[in-house]
Amino acid sequence: MSAPRTMDGLLGSRDEPAPSLQWIGLLLAPATFFAHLQLAYVLVPWACVRGGALWVHLVGLAAILLALGGALAARRVHGRAENTQPNDGAGSVPRTRFLGTVGLCTSAFFALLLTAQWVAGFFISPCQ
Instruction: Give pLDDT, residue 34.
Output: 96
Question: How far, in Å, CA of 32 to CA of 104, rounded?
Answer: 14
Instruction: Establish if 124 belongs to a structural domain.
Output: no
Instruction: Establish if 59 belongs to a structural domain.
Output: yes
Q: What pTM, to 2 d.p., does this model score?
A: 0.79
- Confirm if 32 and 63 have CB atoms less than 8 A apart: yes
Instruction: Establish if 9 belongs to a structural domain.
Output: no
- Which CA distances in Å does 64 have to 91, 112, 116? 33, 8, 10
User: What confidence tens digit (pLDDT) does each residue in 81-95 have?
Assistant: 766 666 666 677 778
Instruction: Give pLDDT, residue 6.
Output: 45
Instruction: Establish if 76 belongs to a structural domain.
Output: yes
Helix (H) or strand (E) holding 58: helix 54-80
Instruction: Establish if 80 belongs to a structural domain.
Output: yes
Close Cβ partners of 14 (under 8 Å, ≥ 6 residues apart): 80
Instruction: Give pLDDT, residue 8.
Output: 45
Instruction: Establish if 12 belongs to a structural domain.
Output: no
Total number of domains constituting the chain? 1
Question: How far, in Å, CA of 13 to CA of 85, rounded?
Answer: 17
Instruction: Establish if 33 belongs to a structural domain.
Output: yes
Instruction: Give pLDDT, residue 127.
Output: 81
**Closest to 18 measured CA to CA, from 74, 68, 72:** 74
Residue range of the domain that includes 70:
24-93
pLDDT averages per 10-residue partition of the chain, 128 residues: 46 59 92 94 88 87 96 88 65 80 94 94 84
